[in-house]
Amino acid sequence: MNSENRGFFANLKNDLPSSIVVFLVALPLCLGIALASEAPLFSGVIAGIVGGVVVTLISGSRMGVSGPAAGLITIVIGAISSLGGFEIFLFAVVIAGVFQLILGFLKAGVIAYYFPSAVIKGMLSGIGLTIILKQLPHAFGYDKDPEGDFAFFQKDGHNTFSELGYMLEAVTPGALIIATVSLVVLILWERPFMKKMVISKVVQGPLVAVVLGVVLNKVFQGIPALAISKEHLVNIPVAANFEGFLDLFTLPDFSQWNNPEVYIVAATIALVASLETLLCVEATDKLDPEKEITPTNRELLAQGSGNIISGLIGGLPITQVIVRSSANIQSGGKSKASAFFHGLLLLACAMFIPNILNMIPYSSLAAVLLLVGYKLAKPSIFKDIYKSGMSQFTPFLITIIGIIFIDLLWGIGLGLIIAIMQILWNNFKRPYHFNPDDYEKGKPVRIWLSQEVTFINKASIMRTLHGLKEGTHVIIDASKTKNIHPDIIEIIEDFMQNAKNHNITLELEGLRIEKSEDPVKQFGHVVLDKK
């Protein structure tokens, strides 16, 4: 039964603790993506709030969590610059939401079902490895690259791997200690003996790790060698009062309604955000222990509504995000209430306790994300897919490499290309059954055509037919063929005329010759015999 039918608050004992974990994962990502996008910091928080509250209520996804996405950073940077201001960009976000509503009504969500399982699994593992590589510097207290920047080439001029070298030259001892303690707590919280204790069922490990991080940060302020400076702590904008809080929101510039570039940017955001959402929906459904299927067209409507509202109040574009969604699943969430409450937590903390949030070390949050990344890219996953054969492992591996060295959409695209190439290659090799080693002199050569023979098979069929020796008796057997492409028919017709010149006897089974009015076609037109 769908979780909506069980009641929104039916699983609060699981959903509330899970919402806290998702909140802790989402907070630095919201801020980091805004910083990396060269947008106001609070715009990332707004997008997280809207993704948690608005999108969740409309969406049919049980475990999906939405918010600002790393995959849109480059588009956002370019759009703000080309449009000439953040307010104009916000108007483009609103229009992008309208475009997504149109896609939803046109039932474009079906695209999600055309991505191979190996590519989706590669996406999950690729994101997991990227999280680990990107969070290690933060764990060591090296925070030059903002949280949420998942691109290989970074804004600081480094790349994902060179950053690991630089971090060793600029270790912050206090941050490294906090990350280590936090990681130990998280690992212990996963042990069977801890799961038997009542406290582990009431309080999630990530919350304990972050609280310990805050406490240690305060203690280290009195120890100069371990003191952590503000640049290594969460930095959410702080308003002096409620009016100041409202000033953090920004309205779009509607006067640009006649600017064609706004609509080009909006269409780009809508297409990329929709594709990323649909990919994350597919991946989240695979991670979901109950294997419920998310209605993808409804998801596009939810995302479109979210982007309209986010743009109207000063937020970044929204997509469903696999990092938050997987954290939701890993921490035991049972329904979409956990995503909803994470949005409320973002709103409440931004309004009432921003100063407390600004005491959280990035290294403590990095430990939480490191565990999320490990669970997405466990060694056992690689083993299982390798055992399933190279046809699965190759697109899986290419997807991972693409995600790590370029970005999410490029990785998915490369994996999909490899998967398609494998299908094309298999079709190229197997349009028919004919083994030259089985040929016995004096007996006919029988070529069995497969059920589906397409234009992709042209080269291999032509090579086989034109490789037959003079005096051969060949039978082309299409008795099991259901569909045959006109290009293949043309090849057979051409071969019929050529065979006589080479003393080759041709026999057709499952194919028949219809009289042709074309005088060039001496033997008539070949068609499938459906009798």
pLDDT digits (tens, 9 = 90+) for 219-269: 999 999 999 999 999 999 898 888 889 999 999 999 999 999 999 999 999
Cβ-based neighbours of 21, under 8 Å, separated by 6 or more: 204, 206, 207, 327, 328, 330, 331, 368
- For residue 319, the cross-strand partners are 67
**Do residues 81 and 50 both lie within one domain?**
yes
CA 67 to chain centre: 14
427 domain residue, yes or no: no
Domain presence at residue 130 = yes
Identify the domain boundary among 365, 392, 417. 417
Residue 472 shares a structural domain with residue 396: no
Question: Closest by alpha carbon to 434, among 447, 416, 420?
Answer: 447
For the chain, what percentages of helix, strand and coil (3-state, to nearest 5) are there? 65, 5, 30
pTM of the model: 0.81
Confidence (pLDDT) at 113 = 78
User: Which contacts (CB < 8 Å, 24+ apart) does range 205-208 have?
Assistant: 206/20, 206/21, 206/24, 206/25, 206/331, 206/368, 207/17, 207/20, 207/21, 207/24
Amino acid 214 reads V
**Does 112 share its domain with 149?**
yes
Strand 318-320 relative to strand 525-528, pairing: unpaired
Q: Let me know whether 401 and 494 are in one domain.
A: no
| Both tokens assigned to 53 | 């509250």
Range of the domain at 105: 12-417
Domain presence at residue 88: yes
Confidence of residue 1 (pLDDT cuts 50, 70, 90): very low
119 and 236 both lie in a single domain: yes
Average pLDDT over residues 79-89: 94
| Contact status, residue 333 vs residue 65, Cβ threshold 8 Å | no
Which residues are registered as beta bridge partners of 320?
66
Number of domains in the chain: 2
CB 46 within 8 A of CB 314: yes
Confidence check: pLDDT of 312 > 90: yes
The token pair at 341 is: 């409450």
Q: Has residue 428 got a pLDDT over 80?
A: no
**Of 363, 387, 417, which one is at a domain's C-terminal end?**
417
Q: Domain for residue 242, yes or no?
A: yes
Q: Quick check: is 422 in a domain?
A: no
Residues 321, 381, single domain; the answer is yes
Handedness of CA 336, 339, 344, 345 (dihedral sign): positive
pLDDT, the chain, mean: 88
Which residue, of 417, 441, 466, is where some domain finishes? 417
Counting Cα atoms < 13 Å in the Cβ hemisphere of 285 gives 18
Q: Indicate if 352 and 442 belong to the same structural domain.
A: no
**Residue 382 covered by a domain:** yes
What percentage of the chain exceeds 70 in pLDDT? 93
Q: Please tell me whether residues 103 and 148 are part of one structural domain.
A: yes
Are 72 and 195 within one domain? yes
Domain-located, residue 1:
no
516's CB contacts (< 8 A; 6+ apart) are: 524, 525
Same domain, 476 and 329: no
The answer as to whether 108 is a domain residue is: yes
DSSP letters, 205-219, are: HHHHHHHHHHHHHHH
Shared domain for 468 and 502, answered yes or no, is yes
Do 338 and 410 fall within a single domain?
yes
Share of the chain above pLDDT 90, in %: 61
The CATH number assigned to the domain holding 442 equals 3.30.750.24
